[in-house]
Amino acid sequence: MNDIHELVRQFLEHLEIEKGRSVKTIDNYGRYLNRYVAYAKISSPKDITEQGIREYRLWLNRQPGTKTGRGHDPMKRRTQNYYLIALRAFLKFLRKRGIESISPERIELAKVPERSLDLITSGELDRLLNAPDLSTPQGLRDKAILELLFSTGLRVSELCGLSQDDIDMTREEFSVRGKGEKVRVVFLSDAAKQAIKAYMKARKDMDDALFVQYGKNIKNVKGNASLRLTPRSVERLVKRYAIKAGITRKVTPHVVRHSFATDLLQNGADLRSVQALLGHANIATTQVYTHVTDKHLHDVHKRFHTKRG
């Protein structure tokens, strides 16, 4: 019996076990698919039709999205595509299982505007990296976090997942397991190595996590949970130091990752190498950086464009 709810459950298990997707990704796919099933009121994959999906897309396009002073804007096209990507992946899963439904290729994604990047200037980046107070253990930790983010381009979840044993301070590189359980090599700058050494020297706890929490109510005693820093905590500390550094725009760990990529490209790195260092599965994801880093086009314009005034 091809019950749609049971097949969705099996698909999510497939994402977790065979595909090695993160818990967050699995939760999102589950939410997207369950919303479709609830809307379409279907019980079997045979009930999925092109006409039904077209009506679903119209319905999504009319759903509220970001809240504004005037109410809610419509759901963004990019968000709508997330729902369709989940449904398409589910249909591919069904096809591999030999379960009859419509072809996943029948689902086309909506065209979306080219992604824009949140970037900070090199001066703002310098101020951010130098914002922590190095006279305190917490400041030493935060300096190490910021330098490591910029040196490696790590995602915040990858950074928080690091243990002390993952980094050999005698080497300038280490392996990290990223999205889809894919392993890549990242490299330590001299500044990152020095910051991590200073932080580790100041540590008094025995926790195996590379970056740990500090606070009055936190004790590392036997039986307690790990002191490992969470992604949300890192996001808060980056935001705090950005404010301290006088940066008015929103700064997140991912903005530092953008700075890592654009710094490489501006200094002559090729796109394929940057793709590998970032851990992007598709080079199209990396290409979002090229339009803000192509110095050559600026030089051509400056050299050859007619000067007026």
pLDDT in tens, 92-142: 999 999 999 999 999 988 887 666 677 888 999 999 999 999 999 999 999
Which amino acids are annotated catalytic? 155, 179, 254, 257, 280, 289
**Domain check: are 90 and 141 in the same one?**
no
Range of the domain at 171: 122-298
132 part of a folded domain:
yes
Residue 199 lies inside a defined structural domain of this protein: yes
Question: Both 132 and 217 in a single domain?
Answer: yes
Average model confidence (pLDDT) across the chain: 88
Structure tokens, 105 = 């290729």
* 63: its two tokens: 């759903």
**Does 224 have pLDDT greater than 60?**
no
What percent of the chain clears pLDDT 90, i.e. is strictly above it? 62
Residue 111 included in any domain: no
Among 106, 136, 154, the domain-final residue is 106
- Cβ pair 62, 74 in contact under 8 A: yes
Considering the domain architecture, whether residues 151 and 36 belong to the same structural domain is answered as no
From 82, 106, 130, the end of a domain falls on 106
Whether 308 is covered by a domain: the verdict is no
pLDDT grade, residue 220 (50/70/90)? very low
**pLDDT tens-digit map of 144-178:** 999 999 999 999 999 999 999 999 888 889 999 88
Tell me, yes or no, whether 140 and 280 share the same domain: yes
The reply to whether 306 falls in a domain is no
Q: How far is CA 63 from CA 47, 50, 82, 110, 183, in A?
A: 23, 20, 14, 15, 38
Q: Is residue 102 part of a domain?
A: yes
Q: pLDDT tens, 30-71? A: 999 999 999 999 999 999 999 999 999 999 998 887 665 566
Q: Report, as an integer, the average pLDDT of 233-240.
A: 96
The answer to whether residues 149 and 176 touch, using CB atoms and an 8 Å cutoff, is no
CATH assignment at residue 244: 1.10.443.10
- Determine the Cα angle at 246 with ends 137 and 253, to 5°: 60
pLDDT of residue 292: 64
Cα Rg of the chain (Å, integer)? 23
Q: How many domains does the chain have?
A: 2
pLDDT score at 72: 67
Q: Is there a single domain that holds both residue 133 and residue 275?
A: yes
Pair 234, 251: CB distance under 8 Å: no
Determine contact, residues 21/180, Cβ cutoff 8 Å.
yes
Measured between alpha carbons, how far is 94 from 52 in angstroms, rounded to an integer? Answer: 18
Q: Are residues 250 and 197 in the same domain?
A: yes
1 contacts: CB under 8 Å, gap ≥ 6: none
Residue 112 lies in a domain: no
Is the same domain home to 143 and 281?
yes
Scored b (16 or more CB within 10 A) or e, 298-309 reads eeeeeeeeeeee
304 is a domain residue: no
